[in-house]
Amino acid sequence: MREGVQPGAGAVLVDKPEGPTSHDLVRLARKAFGTRRIGHTGTLDPFASGLMILCVGWATRLAEYLTGLDKVYRAVIRLGVVTDTADRTGAVIRSDEGWRDLTRAELEDALRSQLGEIDQVPPAYSAKKVGGVRAYDRARRGEEVALEAVRVRVDRIDILALELPEVVVEVACSSGTYIRSLARDIGERLGVGAHLTALRRTKVGSFDVARAIPADRLDDPEAVRGAWLTPLEAVAHLPRVSVGAREAAALSHGVRVPAPEGAPRGVPLALAHNGRLLAVGRVEGDMIQAGKVFAVD
């Protein structure tokens, strides 16, 4: 990693602008930090903006514990126009002026229909694979794309502003939820169709975009420090078990250690020593087994 930017391993909160792909952002970070060992923990469509968490150095091994965190989005839904991508980048395939007769009560009912655990069909233009090929590649070739529904969870959809045919909403949902599909399905429920005109991710787990660094400041050491997470901070959502020097040495060599009373079972544990992340492990029987041990800098 380039000297003076951010030494060691950890994660950085980045505010992705509209336009670049998620991998474009990774390339930018690799150049700024002077290392190829950088990975993201969940993509955003090019037209979308907002919070992305980039893992750096050996902390890339933590990505699997971050990708499944819940998300919060701010979205603008345009009623009455359907596009083939379910967002503003696609071609218009249907228009309907029926939105002019909609009431707020009808809109709220359509939003409620998407709450809870639902079976959601991803957009045809998505990164889901069909027969080993990305769905958007098949769609761009003009092929018929039939994607299976995926179980997702939508905790809330709050109306922030309403000026038909546009409605601005905030959505809190599980990882894997497509906000484009929500817009599409809300439009279908109302009988007029819909697509997204804007999408911004504002939270990932407990991490807020307000703390994130703009992508064009990744080469600014002071800005990076303000958006930096230590490995232990990055997995703060995992139950933490602190261990002493003897246990730390044993775990580092793959040796199991007794689990403290009350240690959660059946979930990954952040195993810490001297305030730093040593490993991620689980309770097996009455012992803790480290699944991933990290070379702490």
Cβ atoms of 69 and 208 closer than 8 Å: no
**Which candidate, 154, 175, 172, 150, places its Cα nearest to that of 68?**
175
- The residues that are catalytic are 45
Query: What is the rounded CA–CA span in Å between residue 192 and residue 267?
Result: 44
Cβ atoms of 236 and 85 closer than 8 Å: no
Query: What is the rounded CA–CA span in Å between residue 48 and residue 240?
Result: 34
Buried b (16+ CB within 10 A) or exposed e, 263-277: beeeebbbbbbeeeb
**Which candidate, 155, 171, 173, 165, places its Cα nearest to that of 197?**
165
Q: Is 217 helix (H, G, I), strand (E, B) or coil?
A: helix
**Which candidate, 20, 103, 74, 47, places its Cα nearest to that of 202?**
74
CA angle 137/50/48 to nearest 5° reads: 35
CA distances from 127 to 121, 130, 138, 139, 223 (A): 13, 9, 10, 11, 32
Question: Which phi and psi angles does 99 have, rounded to 5°?
Answer: -60, -25
Per the DSSP assignment, residues forming a β-bridge with 13 are 53
Q: Is 127 helix (H, G, I), strand (E, B) or coil?
A: coil
Cβ atoms of 6 and 54 closer than 8 Å: no
